[in-house]
Structure 1
Amino acid sequence: MSVVEREKLLEVKNLKKHFKVGRNAVLKAVDNVSFDIYKGETLGLVGESGCGKSTTGRTIIRLYDATDGTVKYDGTDVHGKKSTSELKTFNRKMQMIFQDPYASLNPRMTIKDIIAEGIDIHGLAKSSKEREERVYELLETVGLNKSHASRYPHEFSGGQRQRIGIARALAVDPDFIIADEPISALDVSIQAQVVNLMMKLQKERGLTYLFIAHDLSMVKHISDRVGVMYLGNMVELAGSDELYEEPLHPYTQALLSAIPVPDPEIERNRERIAIKGELPSPIDPPSGCRFRTRCQFATDVCASTAPKWQEAREGHWVACHIYDKEVNMGNKQ
């Protein structure tokens, strides 16, 4: 089913999250980002460290207040003024899985109490027995057993702790989960297990994911569509297969050219696109296009004018002057 026929669950429009640094400086972590997420899909969000992808996720779920822009979840403004009961309802619908599965779990709480915390807050169990049975069921759902319920986080491996984090997120029956680099702290051998578990849960429960990561090959495996961020901006967004096979933005092309290929013959003959220079500071980003200082195709217009976020092909969005018809027509005249 094409995204056109599907129902929007999340609408992010012109989202900004700026942080004050010192007296006068402002760090523009997320700056004018727009995208939609459709019910039942996984949107992957990738980019270099410091590009703003995690801040985007945390602002969507209201761990950070937005500086500007709107986030609508199922048609309701997430950052609008809400009553306590409205916020409670919203928090149940949207959950988060964090990058560090140890830091995100209270070391003084048993696994049973960690998983049941959301159940208690939202009053989802009528008795202690029902609460306990619910925790046991969630542990089994994520591949653990009920004997683990009485243990503490330090008694588990990284992969097991992340499974506990997933069980905690599932405890309140959410519709939407933001996974903030959920596999980056895990061994490579465990990463695929966690991703496959998430895909299985999505099919069984009809979940919608925002999957934030820097591992491009794993993002392709799990995502229906992929968005690419650079220095606080979204630079490209397309279906997973299309983005990986025909990337439009020079930054995306360079990122994908760096992914290793298992076949030694193909790997030896591949053309690598090097990104020159250092990543600029989000406190003082370049004028115009933020990627221009590292782009081999940069021209004068890239320095003076920020590229539009536009649909270059059906369902394929990009922010680059190469695909800006107005700019290119002006150059021809």
Structure 2
Amino acid sequence: MSEKEKLIEVKNLKKYFNVGKGKILKAVDDVSFDIYKGETLGLVGESGCGKSTAGRTIIQLYNATSGQVIYDGEDTQVKKSAVDKKSMKKKMQMIYQDPYSSLNPRMTVLEIIAEGIGNHEVQLKSKEKEARVYDLLESVGLNKKHANRYPHEFSGGQCQRIGIARALAVAPEFIIADEPIAALDVSIQAQIVNLLQELQQKKGLTYLFIAHDLSMVKHISDRIAVMYLGGVVELAGSEDLYDNPLHPYTQALLSAIPIPDPKIERTRERIILKGDVPNPMDPPSGCRFRTRCPKAMQICTEIVPEWQEVSSNHFVACHLYKQ
């Protein structure tokens, strides 16, 4: 993977929210990883771990508290002119979790998809924009007959296809898919994931795929990063992470994946985590996972574990692997 060209470099990214009375919510706290051109990086973790906030901060829907997001060698956090900001927004797009709430109910499908085209390519005539929208609808498995309908006339899966077409409308290089299948029926989820993979191959797209469905993340991702309470605790290739999880939190997550055939003997012991996720406004000292970790040691209460490469392209933050 090191031979590939980096598209995104996330360095020590932090996103804190002031929730009043002097309290600070550390949603994303010192997160670092790279995303290579043409790959899919999966980002997984429990609800509330900060993965969606990380995605929205990378794409600048939220302003970062500190840290850097470098896109193709350019620091996106540096103040830019309106023209440069517009150019950057065209390169990065987002697919949202809820296909219904992400689409304006008062706009037709044609208007929804053409809106981005009109903002970034003002020279295009109406007929040209319409033709572009029809092509986009075809590319996501719909047709031009759907263009004059409203979002409420479609199923969840169809609405998500419209959301994908909208994201593709300005020809981006990088797409953040924020749990794009979580609100869909199981029968539709595989169709959407297969569509995303087809579009990636055809258009050379790069994805950050945020999800909590671990089996689906393995299917679509080249590498996977695991988040817990605002920080990344492990990062490795998809197969490597599933075959050899190092961090106790990753091991617990993977042990919870159901086996589709009950006749197959479970080879991985089920790990039940005790206690609740700590309050992100008052995280534990040292390792944030120590209050639930079955392998916690004294050092875990005192020192934050270092981010280290334990084996080739397999990174972990855990005192069990202190070098």
Normalising by structure 1, what TM-score? 0.96
Task: Give ranges in structure 2 of 5+ residues lacking alignment.
Answer: none
Q: Which residue of 1 aligns with 2:58?
A: 60
Report the alpha carbon displacement of residue 324 of structure 1 after superposing the two structures with TM: 1.3
Report the alpha carbon displacement of residue 314 of structure 1 after superposing the two structures with TM: 1.1
Q: Which residue of 2 aligns with 1:330?
A: none
**1:1-333 → structure 2 map (5 Å cutoff):** 3-123=1-121, 126-267=124-265, 270-325=268-323
- Measure the CA separation in 2 of the matches of 1:208 and 1:133: 25
Q: Given that residues 16 and 24 in structure 2 are in contact (C-alpha distance below 8 angstroms), is that contact kept between their aligned partners in structure 1?
A: yes
SS of residue paired to 1:292: coil
Task: Give ranges in structure 1 of 5+ residues lacking alignment.
Answer: 326-333
SS of residue paired to 1:87: helix
Report the alpha carbon displacement of residue 42 of structure 1 after superposing the two structures with TM: 0.1
Q: In the superposition, relative to structure 1, how do residues 266 and 124 fare at CA in structure 2: closer, same or farther (>3 Å)?
A: farther
- Measure the CA separation in 2 of the matches of 1:52 and 1:266: 34
Instruction: Letter of the 2:199 partner, please give it.
Output: L
Q: Which residue of 2 aligns with 1:331?
A: none
Deviations 1:132-176 (A, max 9, x none): 100000000000010000000000000000000000000000000
Report the alpha carbon displacement of residue 265 of structure 1 after superposing the two structures with TM: 3.0
Report the alpha carbon displacement of residue 123 of structure 1 after superposing the two structures with TM: 1.2
Q: In the superposition, relative to structure 1, how do residues 157 and 284 fare at CA in structure 2: closer, same or farther (>3 Å)?
A: same
- Measure the CA separation in 2 of the matches of 1:116 and 1:308: 47
RMSD over aligned Cα, in angstroms?
0.9
- Measure the CA separation in 1 of the matches of 2:123 and 2:184: 33
Instruction: Letter of the 1:184 partner, please give it.
Output: A
- Measure the CA separation in 1 of the matches of 2:244 and 2:140: 36
Q: Given that residues 112 and 132 in structure 1 are in contact (C-alpha distance below 8 angstroms), is that contact kept between their aligned partners in structure 2?
A: yes
SS of residue paired to 2:142: coil
SS of residue paired to 1:311: strand
Q: In the superposition, relative to structure 1, how do residues 124 and 137 fare at CA in structure 2: closer, same or farther (>3 Å)?
A: farther
Report the alpha carbon displacement of residue 269 of structure 1 after superposing the two structures with TM: 6.3
Report the alpha carbon displacement of residue 70 of structure 1 after superposing the two structures with TM: 0.4
Instruction: Letter of the 1:86 partner, please give it.
Output: D
- Measure the CA separation in 2 of the matches of 1:175 and 1:267: 43
- Measure the CA separation in 2 of the matches of 1:143 and 1:283: 44
Range with bigger deviation, 261-270 or 82-91: 261-270
- Measure the CA separation in 2 of the matches of 1:245 and 1:134: 44
- Measure the CA separation in 1 of the matches of 2:94 and 2:265: 37
Q: Given that residues 118 and 124 in structure 2 are in contact (C-alpha distance below 8 angstroms), is that contact kept between their aligned partners in structure 1?
A: no
Report the alpha carbon displacement of residue 127 of structure 1 after superposing the two structures with TM: 1.3
Normalising by structure 2, what TM-score? 0.98
SS of residue paired to 1:35: strand
Deviations 1:157-213 (A, max 9, x none): 000000000000000000000000000000000000000000000000000000000
Instruction: Letter of the 1:77 partner, please give it.
Output: D
- Measure the CA separation in 1 of the matches of 2:297 and 2:121: 59
Q: In the superposition, relative to structure 1, how do residues 107 and 257 fare at CA in structure 2: closer, same or farther (>3 Å)?
A: same
SS of residue paired to 1:136: helix
How many pairs were matched up?
323
Instruction: Letter of the 2:169 partner, please give it.
Output: A
Q: Which residue of 2 aligns with 1:328?
A: none
Instruction: Letter of the 2:217 partner, please give it.
Output: V
Range with bigger deviation, 266-275 or 152-161: 266-275
Q: Given that residues 259 and 266 in structure 2 are in contact (C-alpha distance below 8 angstroms), is that contact kept between their aligned partners in structure 1?
A: no
Report the alpha carbon displacement of residue 125 of structure 1 after superposing the two structures with TM: 5.7
- Measure the CA separation in 2 of the matches of 1:24 and 1:171: 42
